[in-house]
Structure 1
Amino acid sequence: MANQYVDIDTLKFLLYKVHNLEEVLQQSKYEDYDKDSIELLLNSVKEFSDKELYPYFREMDENPAHFKDGEIVVHPQVRKYMKAGGEMGFISGGFPYEDGGMQLPSMVINASAFIQDAANNHLPGYIGLTVGSAELITHFGNKELNETYVPKMLEGTWGGTMCLTEPQAGSSLSDIITSATPDGDAYKIHGQKIFISGGDYQGAENIVHLVLARVKGAPAGTKGISLFVVPKNRPDKNGTLTPNDVQTVADFEKMGQRGYCTTHLFFGDKEDCKGWLVGEENKGLKYMFLMMNGARIAVGRGAAAIASAAYQASLNYANERAQGRKLTSTGKKDANEEQTLIINHPDVRRMLLLQKVVTEGSLSLVFLAAKYHDLSQSHADKEEREKYNLLLEIMTPVVKTYPSEMGRIAVDNGLQILGGYGFCSDYVLQQYFRDIRISALYEGTTGIQSQDLLGRKITMHNGKALQLLSEEITNSIKASMAHTALAPHAKKLAEKLELTQKVLKSLMGYAMKGDYERFLADATPFMEFFSNIVLGWVWLGIAEEAQNALLTGSKENSMEFYENKIHAMRFYFKYELPKTNGLAEILMDNQDLTVGTNETIFK
């Protein structure tokens, strides 16, 4: 069971070497930790995941969460996981000491969560949303809200959610109509929310909902949205819980992640639902984005973890399944020879390598974003903090989207490796394929992330974030040029940076004319183009560290381990990076085939 769902050696190589966790641990905020203590933590998480998460992965799919007699029935392991989450610090890990947390770096939190996601992606969401909800309260809530709710949430006794979506307002949050009416020191909440992950379930004594709603008379659109703490059961001064008129209407039966409940909630059916304002009125969406940005990185991490587990399953199958024979020098097969393992077929190797470069590249991307977050919070120099914050801003939509979209393609290739068996429930690939599909929808669809990248992050502060990212990539290119084996690939990446400038010059022409709809019409192809180049940079960095390890004779991993990383980088640069040329052609083509198209074309 030691390596059925995650490659721990690669995880640690990326964490410690490629992204140099030590640089973060040197910041005063994290000075209580060193590599040895982090190593103990990650090993304990792996051991826990082996015993309490991975063995229940398929069982939770076969016995999904469901609505029965007014409540959500979930697998018993959910209760056990929440309890362990409190005891082992999975919930409190990232919180500062003064809030009762462990003050761990985001890089470590994400490494721990990746292991858990890969072991059983149905469970970590329950903890992730509890973390996000508690974070919002600690950042923006008053002392009373903090004292009332946060301790119970950090210990895993109470769960937490984020409640944004309504039947008439999916991604368009400006159309939210859930109302909040002043009522003494609280507000009366009335409305409904759908697609609420972890919205209600057996085993949690209480659920603390963070709800977006409108106070009467608030400005229209997103400027009039406020944020409220709305518990399922409201506690009095003695801690006694009273039902708060939050009704669970149903649980959505999903294609994948079936052990992770997704509820439909109604607030105030009996006019007795109370909520407490977080921060100031009409600033709710601004507050919620603190949680949403973290959640978007978590979605990308989760997708990378699912793809990682699928890769391990595919690799295991390819090393066991005998099928066909290798071609001889005459171009024919010798029927007298024994069948060969399918891993010896070039096309299977191509699909495995695609899985490898997507999954390992995605995990590296997650650690990079986590490092930017850590340094934006802890660096002693203010200008450096601002720099890393801008880098985090521009990377967030990419970190959410690339693992979600390319992870799905990676899992699809894994399913293909299994042939007909991949389509059967006897094997786990079909479950990974179903589970990962939600990632491109969670926390803002791919289209929304793409518009955020092109429309906001690329242009923010007059392109400052893009400039900083370009400088980071250029520095990596210069460092790689020092290695003869890497120089050709560094040169190719430099050419892609120049291509990016050409593409952006072409697209910005529409924005400068005020034609913003046309400017953003091809935001999704731009996301694919941009992400592909970013992953080329990520892989060049992995290869550079592997090359350094070979040159210094590092014994932390085998020579084969490092050589395999360099080989994977070469694969990425041959099979994936060139796709940017076709995407650039699409993006610079001035034909308008979507915005100005008559709707009759679809008939």
Structure 2
Amino acid sequence: MANQYVDIDTLKFFLYDVHNLEEVLLQERFTDHDRDSLNLFIDSVKEFSDRELFPYFKEMDENPAYHENGGVVVHKQVEVMMKKGGEMGLISGTFDYEAGGLQMPMMVYTASAFIQDAANNHLPGYVGLTLGAAELIIHFANKELNDTYVPKMLSGDWGGTMCLTEPQAGSSLSDVVTKASPQDDGSYKISGQKIFISGGDHQYAENFVHLVLARIEGAPAGTKGISLFIVPKKRPDGKGGLISNDVTTVADFQKMGQRGYCTTHLGFGDADDCKGWLVGEAHHGLKYMFLMMNGARIAVGRGAAAIATAAYHASLQYAKERPQGRKLASTGKKDPEQGQTLIINHPDVRRMLLLQKVVAEGSLSLVLLASKYYDLKETVTDPLEKERYSLLLELIIPMVKTYPSEMGAQAVSNGLQVLGGYGFCADFILQQYHRDIRIFPIYEGTTGIQSQDLLGRKLLMENGKALELLTKEVMLTIENASKFEDLRKYANTLGGKLQLAQKVIGFLVGFAKKGDYERFLSDASPFMEFLSNITLAWVWLETATFAKSTLISGALKYSEEFYESKIHAMRFYYKYELPKTTGLAEILTNEEVLTVATEKEILH
């Protein structure tokens, strides 16, 4: 197992330099924080992850969570994660002081969670879901519910979950049938089932606070009739204690990856004694849940980027240690008398490693950028600036969730290939990363759902204003990169890709204007790949431009090789990844329609 899973210098380079955390710290909300104090926090998270997370990564896969006697049994490090998560502010970090939080920027929380995810992606979800559930209560529930549930959640004594998915509905939340019946005491009687509930039960929390989507009797059909409820596993008894609330752990799903992170099937009201309390107003549940979804989708992108990063370091270490084959001589032949060379010297191995690097680091940069937009939209006072950051965030969020997930899986697969046959064996960790990351394109809305959101909603909202704002950001980077002679050709290439994007978008939007929405969205996933690829080209050009200007100025915080490696990575991306947009554009502008169902079925 590799002894390095993350490069802290690269993380801090993106956080402080490329994305300029100082700009966020200027906002009034964050005046108590400075670079030194935040560095101490990040370094303490790294030390915690080195000691309590990374050493147990393989062990948690080999000893997965399981259902027994009506509960779920998980690895002992879950207890450490919950308790230390509470003590260190890993649950409460971004919340207001008044709520018991640290008022930390999302950028810094994201950086700290990235370290944890890279160390052991089976553990951070337990505190992450508790954070998400507490956030919903803090934002939308009344004071009594806040006082009853939030303190114990932020301390890590109680867990929290999000309960959306049902067996018959899957991702189609309009088909939720979990029922809520109003009671005389102001509570609701809850009955129904929820599946795929991450962190839904284990022996190391005294209670679980489930945030449940349900339909009040008589509510309108569809998503407009869904309400949000707090449904604890154990409810207060009115005397300072807790009693059973008729929440049953039916099963724990046995999974391909993330086997140490339990995923439960929950039943509510099997004995007709399950109580829930309405959060906010009736019939607004889905709106409340989705107001928190940007943070959840940043978290998915962050987790995938972290796994891709850890896999890169594992395969890089292997390539530096594994001798095999010989380098080609100038004659084009191998000299059998020559000693074996390390596989890192083989060009194709280097190609695979560089692909891992550009995907992992590019994904991290994109996730931190989204976190910056998130911070600024919440804290700037100028209404126009607030709108600008909100629109930018809304547009890139589907890509932030999808690109690290989809391309991260490809990157990890390349890492496994670097190890050859050993990569397929349980003795080496790449196969585990390969299995763990596969869930990320499914989490929090599948790639298909994200792609339809990007093309069908985000691209068109405000008459295309979000796309116009993002284009301006890209053009600014192109202008800055063009000042450097050896970056100019890459800036010109990106400019050409912007023009290609306009052509593709114009072609597709034409179907929407004609009301042919099924055709408009039928190639949404190839469009997601197309626009994400261009967006990552922008992210990498921005990184290379900063690295180049730093080398010229001589104001180096890291070695010359560090900055040169970022420029080299950009060049690799532009040679091997960005050209794929040409083929994708050809697919997207092809008049032939092959995936829309017709009366004649061709799938047999």
Task: Give the TM bin, normalised by the shorter chain.
Answer: over 0.9
User: 1:85 and 1:238 mapped to 2: Cα distance?
Assistant: 29
Instruction: Please report the TM-score for the alignment, with normalisation by the length of structure 1.
Output: 0.99
- Report the AA paired with residue 358 of structure 1: V
Cα deviation 1:393-428 (Å, max 9, x = unaligned): 011100000000000000000000000000000000
- Structure 1: gaps (5+ residues): none
User: 1:401 and 1:289 mapped to 2: Cα distance?
Assistant: 17
Alignment partner, residue 334 of structure 1 = 335
Alignment partner, residue 302 of structure 1 = 303
Alignment partner, residue 538 of structure 1 = 539
User: 1:222 and 1:364 mapped to 2: Cα distance?
Assistant: 34
How far apart are 1:2 and its partner, in Å? 10
| Contact 2:2/2:317 (8 A) holds in 1 | no
Percent identity over paired residues:
70
Please say if 1:502 is aligned against 2:503.
yes
- Structure 2: gaps (5+ residues): none
| Contact 2:530/2:581 (8 A) holds in 1 | yes
- Report the AA paired with residue 125 of structure 1: G
Please say if 1:289 is aligned against 2:290.
yes
- Report the AA paired with residue 189 of structure 1: I
Alignment partner, residue 580 of structure 2 = 579
Alignment partner, residue 25 of structure 1 = 25
Root-mean-square deviation over aligned CA pairs:
1.0
Alignment partner, residue 159 of structure 1 = 159
Secondary structure, in 3 states, of the residue corresponding to 1:438? coil
User: 2:377 and 2:277 mapped to 1: Cα distance?
Assistant: 30
Matches within 5 A, 1:129-528: 129-184=129-184, 185-528=186-529
| Contact 1:162/1:211 (8 A) holds in 2 | yes
Cα deviation 1:514-550 (Å, max 9, x = unaligned): 0000000000000000000000000001101100110
- Report the AA paired with residue 392 of structure 1: L
Secondary structure, in 3 states, of the residue corresponding to 2:13? helix
Secondary structure, in 3 states, of the residue corresponding to 2:440? helix
- Report the AA paired with residue 399 of structure 1: V
User: 1:152 and 1:205 mapped to 2: Cα distance?
Assistant: 9
How far apart are 1:381 and its partner, in Å? 1.3
How far apart are 1:594 and its partner, in Å? 1.1
| Contact 1:322/1:340 (8 A) holds in 2 | yes
How far apart are 1:554 and its partner, in Å? 2.1
Please say if 1:37 is aligned against 2:37.
yes
How far apart are 1:38 and its partner, in Å? 0.8
Secondary structure, in 3 states, of the residue corresponding to 1:601? coil
Q: How many residues align?
A: 603
Secondary structure, in 3 states, of the residue corresponding to 2:438? helix
Q: Which moved more, 1:131-140 or 1:591-600?
A: 591-600
User: 2:139 and 2:419 mapped to 1: Cα distance?
Assistant: 48
User: 2:600 and 2:168 mapped to 1: Cα distance?
Assistant: 23
Alignment partner, residue 82 of structure 1 = 82
User: 1:29 and 1:494 mapped to 2: Cα distance?
Assistant: 37
How far apart are 1:329 and its partner, in Å? 0.5
Secondary structure, in 3 states, of the residue corresponding to 1:386? helix
Q: Which moved more, 1:571-580 or 1:288-297?
A: 288-297
User: 1:361 and 1:599 mapped to 2: Cα distance?
Assistant: 44
User: 2:111 and 2:515 mapped to 1: Cα distance?
Assistant: 43
- Report the AA paired with residue 23 of structure 2: E
How far apart are 1:485 and its partner, in Å? 1.4
User: 2:294 and 2:52 mapped to 1: Cα distance?
Assistant: 29
| Contact 2:2/2:314 (8 A) holds in 1 | no
How far apart are 1:98 and its partner, in Å? 1.1
Structure-2 change in CA distance of 1:192 and 1:322 (3 Å): same
User: 1:565 and 1:239 mapped to 2: Cα distance?
Assistant: 57
User: 2:3 and 2:497 mapped to 1: Cα distance?
Assistant: 36
Alignment partner, residue 567 of structure 1 = 568
User: 2:235 and 2:225 mapped to 1: Cα distance?
Assistant: 26
- Report the AA paired with residue 536 of structure 1: A
| Contact 2:215/2:225 (8 A) holds in 1 | yes
Secondary structure, in 3 states, of the residue corresponding to 2:321? coil
| Contact 1:27/1:380 (8 A) holds in 2 | no
Cα deviation 1:338-368 (Å, max 9, x = unaligned): 0000000000000000000000000000000
User: 2:82 and 2:36 mapped to 1: Cα distance?
Assistant: 26
Secondary structure, in 3 states, of the residue corresponding to 1:228? strand
Cα deviation 1:428-450 (Å, max 9, x = unaligned): 00000000000000010000000
- Report the AA paired with residue 395 of structure 1: I
Q: Would you identify which runs of 4 or more consecutive aligned residues in structure 1 move more than 4 Å?
A: 596-599
Structure-2 change in CA distance of 1:598 and 1:347 (3 Å): farther
Secondary structure, in 3 states, of the residue corresponding to 1:439? coil
| Contact 2:2/2:313 (8 A) holds in 1 | no
| Contact 1:158/1:208 (8 A) holds in 2 | yes
